[in-house]
Amino acid sequence: MSLMSFGCCTRFKMTPEELEQRYKSQEIDKLIEKDKQVLKRQVKLLLLGAGESGKSTFLKQMRIIHGIKFEQDLIREYQQIIYQNVVRGMKVLVDARDKLAIPWGDTSNVAVGLELLHFNNNQIIDVNRFTQFVPMLKKLWSDNGIRRAYERRREFQLSDSVEFFLNNIERISRSDYMPTNKDILHCRKATKGITEFVIPINTVPFLFVDVGGQRSQRQKWFSCFDSVTSILFLVSSSEFDQVLLEDRKTNRLEESRDIFDTIINNRIFSSVSIILFMNKYDLLVRKVANPETDIRWYFPQFTGNSHSIKDVQSFILAIFTGVKRDPKKQLYHHFTTAVDTENIKVVFNSVKDTILNRNLETLMLQ
């Protein structure tokens, strides 16, 4: 055997430890490659829109529709938030009744209302503490003055969920109460920061990214713009007669339109499919049917029948589609009710095909 051939044999002979190390290295390489392929296939959906447009509710619906149960810790957290939603909501109504100079239906509620106004909004409410509030909440909710204040809620800031929970006060005040999916959907907590959630759909990982919609949260949007497949832009279509929480003067629908303008006409999203969800359709229907509400008071350019849902729908949709500057840019839209699971299931099935086809086109171009 020559010296050269001996050297080759020695060079390729490996100890069991070296063989194991090499095997591990190959396995890691395979996993890295697999992760790369998953990332290429991954669908990234960005949920954008102004505050209280329903982004977080939509994300909750995605969990419910795809059978991903809420963890027990999360359910308990929602329970406390629901208690806070109800107590804070009634506190807002008591304060609004006073500021709007609406007389009490029952003068004995003066003392009850004052007691509630002393509640600290930052206080955590457990089931025992909430039970103490229940007699007050029931008494106040049955008062004509509070009901009249509720009818004028467009004049102040009140969460949409307050009526739902007050109408279910008997059920949610039971000692064995645990929030249902419907309760969780109505539960309101402002999103701060960025929430990401992956749901496998048709063996494709869908990454949903929910970012806060309040003005103070929007600077965080830019950090989420990389590798976006589709943008789901949510609009609270029923808020044509309401103003922003942030400045108490800007019309909410106009604020949403201005944000949408910056998104749909942004060059970064030239190849990104954008789907417009005109949300809170159920509330819009109720508002349009109300003889005491007229969209022309807030949008004088409206020329249709202000109590025709079709006319109002068309007008509100045109406000948003009208800002799109590129005629070739496709824009899909749906009128939705984010708290209605069946409605979101039907809409998302339609949207999902659009998103998957778009993702497939992108992969073929790579």
Residues 227, 44 contacting (CB under 8 angstroms): yes
**From 42, 80, 131, 214, the catalytic residue:** 214
Beta strands 204-211 and 230-236 are: unpaired
Question: What backbone phi and psi angles, to 5 degrees, belong to 128?
Answer: -65, -45
Of the candidates 188, 255, 336, 337, the residue annotated as catalytic is 188
Is 321 one of the annotated active-site residues of the chain?
no
Q: Does the annotation mark 71 as catalytic? A: no
Burial-class residue 230 by CB neighbours within 10 Å (0-12, 13-18, 19+).
buried
CA–CA dist 310, 169 (Å, integer): 35
Which of 57, 313, 336, 337 does the annotation list as catalytic?
Answer: 57
DSSP track, 280-329: -HHHHHHHHH-TT--GGGT-TT--S-TT-HHHHHHHHHHHHHTT---TTS
Phi and psi at 279, nearest 5°, equal -85, 175
Whether 27 sits among the annotated catalytic residues: the reply is no
In sequence order, the 6+-apart residues with CB closer than 8 A to the CB of 91 are: 116, 117, 119, 121
Annotation marks residue 17 as catalytic:
no
Question: Which uninterrupted H or E stretch holds 185?
Answer: helix 181-186
Task: Considering the candidates 160, 183, 210, 241, report the single residue annotated as catalytic.
Answer: 210
Are 279 and 61 within 8 A, CB to CB? Answer: no
Is 79 a residue of the active site? Answer: no
Angle 59-63-65 (CA atoms, 0-180°, nearest 5)?
Answer: 110
The residues that are catalytic are 52, 57, 188, 210, 214
